Structure 1
Amino acid sequence: MTSDDIAVLANPRAGRGRHRGLLPGVLERLGASGRTVRLLSADSAEAAEKACLRAVAEGIGALVAVGGDGTLHRAVQAVAGTRVGFGLVPAGTGNDFAAGTGVPADPLTAASAIAEAVRTGRSTPVDLARVTTARGDVRWFGAVLAAGFDAVVNERANRMRWPRGPRRYDLAIVLEMARLRSRRYSLVLDGVDHGFTGVLVAVGNCRSYGGGMLICPDADPTDGLLDVVVAASLGRGALARLKPRLRRGTHVSDPRVTSYRAREVRIGAPEIVAYADGERLAALPLVVSCEPGAVRLLR
């Protein structure tokens, strides 16, 4: 690959396959940039990430992810902190990073915008969150990190083999709601202790997760800060009533919910595995920092 090439990572299973026939049109639109467009080959999420890292190391001019937040998550591990332009064609179920950064919702329109940005040399600096695990590993995310009840539900769903599809997640919610309990969290924001006992924790670079749930409704991925939203101890009924308000972002007005902003977040709690961009990340404790302009977004 050369510095003029556009490498494309496409997930044919994104959005439950709804956009399976979309890729030829996307590649054609990207080709209008005048650059050579090359499709990366990968048969797993891990292979996809390695393919992106290899393409960046070879000196590509731009990397484009076609898919949802999971595909985005793999791709940003390669472009974060580099000068390589990054384009996102939203074709997933959630597309929360795309929505939060002003990427056109229509995939073909997004592809055309990327081609024009490449052709004219235009890019927009956008923040990313940098995570350091207890082992010293570094991961990046674009949208939201969940480390409360939603993370527990995701962990349960990932261990289940039945049922398939969205019903598995719904069943995981029921099972975890039945055993809901508060945890003691260590939370240090820019060096200030905000430890609490509660059930819900989210660290947002963007506003939403889970396909439009506005968990961090005031988050701005260009302000150099992370939004942190926590909920104190809640019973099953109170949590069930709070969850629908996430769609509108009105949960932050509840007196049991507290919002913060910080450049660095240190978070810990027992028996919690955090999820970011909907992907399994690592067990707490974690250090999360905002890295201003860590990705050059083509849009």
Structure 2
Amino acid sequence: MHTLFLLNPTAGKADCTRTLPQQIAAAAAGAGLAPEDYTIRVTTHAGHARELSRAAAAAAQKAGVELRIFTAGGDGTFNEALTGAHGFDKTAVGCLPYGSGNDFLRTYGTKEEFLDLDAQLAGGAVPIDLMRTSLGLSATICAAGLDAQVAYGIPKFRRIPLCGGEAAYALSIVQQLCGHIGRRVEYVIDGEVLTVDCLMCAVCNGRAYGGGFMAGPEAQPDDGWLDVFIVRKVSRRVIAKLLMLYKNGQHFQNGQLTEAAKPYFIYRRAKSVSLRAADGRGPIIATVDGECAPCKQVSVQVQPLAGHVLLPLPAYQRFTAKKAGVK
């Protein structure tokens, strides 16, 4: 087995390459890994983690050896490596949460567990479903509507002097709320056609996105199903109340919408979802793992157990115990 660490120096608020290599060396020695058993690479441009993971996965497959890839960055870096490793059954990908969102891990455990290098090296690989979307592969959530529009608008505010991440996010929210709220959207969900005046929607394989919004609070990333939540168009005075329900996962409990959520949400379980604007106002903004783009049509299909991810020991033990039916 070989272990590859991919470090993204631009993820999050601090450059992880300043101290993480020394920490990796110490943890690797503690786990009994020799220097030749692992490699540390630093990404230098967008897409680099995908390139490095694909090359390493192909080499491992050819050599017949197992490969572990740990990405130190955010969900975008993790997604790049997962995409690069897709199709290579001897490679599994894990994440060290050094980014700003780190939503993938929220389905399985805590940030502290995933930052623990000793626990990561002692953990194991599990199979999970992936989503094939119009914006590429994803292990978590594909969203469209207001939340995606906010994310899409952030970069232009970051170009303003002294306008950091939180300020840019706040300004983008204000811009969206001052504009036209909601879209008329046609959905095709496993053949069922719905036309809805909606605020936003989320197609969930994982549970969280957007830095902790629990859109799919009971999503199971290995059950072969997608949890689909459509939020109906509401007045501006209701949006704050609705977003608090959504952020805290209080819209869905015990396999159904809560009473507070029923007037505002539509829920379906599905294998395939597509949506397109039905109001003649141009493309819909969609987002997957931090990547945003305008799309004429957004499509999502589940790919059962098409990915292999690494979990730190506590999360791995919980996951395997649950699969075995142990409480």
When the two structures are superposed, what TM-score results if normalisation uses the length of structure 1?
0.87
Retained in 2: the 8 A contact 1:33–1:116? no
Partner of residue 206, structure 2:
206
Unaligned residue ranges in structure 2 (runs of 5+): 61-65, 253-257, 312-327
1:276 aligns with 2:278: no
Cα RMSD, aligned residues only: 2.2
Partner of residue 51, structure 1:
52
Structure 1 pair 6–180 and aligned structure 2 pair: CA distance change class (3 A) = same
Retained in 1: the 8 A contact 2:204–2:216? yes
Structure 1 pair 130–28 and aligned structure 2 pair: CA distance change class (3 A) = farther
Q: Which amino acid aligns with 2:44?
A: D
Structure 1 pair 215–27 and aligned structure 2 pair: CA distance change class (3 A) = farther
Structure 1 pair 104–239 and aligned structure 2 pair: CA distance change class (3 A) = closer
2:98 to 81, 91, 98: 91
Retained in 2: the 8 A contact 1:14–1:93? yes
Deviations 1:149-189 (A, max 9, x none): 01111111123322232210110000110003221212111
1:12 aligns with 2:15: no
1:101 to 89, 101, 108: 108
Deviations 1:63-90 (A, max 9, x none): 1111221211211111233211222222
Q: Which moved more, 1:26-35 or 1:164-173?
A: 26-35
Cα deviation, residue 237, structure 1:
1.4
Paired residue secondary structure (1:106):
helix
Partner of residue 237, structure 1:
237
When the two structures are superposed, what TM-score results if normalisation uses the length of structure 2?
0.80
Paired residue secondary structure (1:123):
strand
Matches within 5 A, 1:8-87: 8-17=5-14, 19=16, 21-30=19-28, 32=31, 34=33, 36-59=37-60, 61-83=67-89, 84-87=91-94
Cα deviation, residue 18, structure 1:
7.3
Mark the structure with the bigger radius of gyration. Answer: 2
Retained in 2: the 8 A contact 1:101–1:221? no
1:150 aligns with 2:147: yes
Matches within 5 A, 1:145-224: 145-160=142-157, 161-162=159-160, 163-224=163-224
Report the Cα distance in structure 1 between the residues aligned to 2:307 and 2:14, rounded to whole angstroms: 28
Deviations 1:188-246 (A, max 9, x none): 11122123121111111111112221112221112111111111111211112211222
Cα deviation, residue 30, structure 1:
4.1
Report the Cα distance in structure 2 between the residues aligned to 1:281 and 1:236, rounded to whole angstroms: 25
Partner of residue 265, structure 1:
273
Cα deviation, residue 282, structure 1:
5.6
Cα deviation, residue 33, structure 1:
5.5
Structure 1 pair 53–275 and aligned structure 2 pair: CA distance change class (3 A) = same
Retained in 1: the 8 A contact 2:131–2:205? yes
Report the Cα distance in structure 2 between the residues aligned to 1:58 and 1:265, rounded to whole angstroms: 35
Q: Say how many residue pairs are matched.
A: 286
Structure 1 pair 30–189 and aligned structure 2 pair: CA distance change class (3 A) = farther
Paired residue secondary structure (2:54):
helix
Q: Which amino acid aligns with 1:90?
A: P
Q: Which amino acid aligns with 1:34?
A: L
State percent identity of aligned pairs: 30
Unaligned residue ranges in structure 1 (runs of 5+): none
Report the Cα distance in structure 2 between the residues aligned to 1:77 and 1:27, rounded to whole angstroms: 26
Partner of residue 292, structure 1:
304
Cα deviation, residue 49, structure 1:
2.2
Paired residue secondary structure (1:57):
helix
Retained in 1: the 8 A contact 2:152–2:293? no
Paired residue secondary structure (2:131):
strand
